[in-house]
Amino acid sequence: MNHQKSTFHSFGHFLNTVLALLEQGLRNLLSWQKMNFANYPYLHKSL
């Protein structure tokens, strides 16, 4: 019973780490898209 509990705990920790990394990646992607979108008219004008 105790072993199962510790396995579940480490799995929960693993999930939290994965979720944190995904959230960070998503934020980076969104901020990059915002910057790209903000620069788009300037890029379009230069063409």
pLDDT in tens, the chain (47 residues): 566 788 888 999 999 999 999 999 999 988 888 877 777 676 666 65
pLDDT of residue 2: 66
pLDDT of residue 44: 65
Q: Compute φ and ψ for 16, nearest 5 degrees.
A: -60, -40
DSSP-H helix ranges across 2-46: 2-46
pTM over the 0.75 mark? no
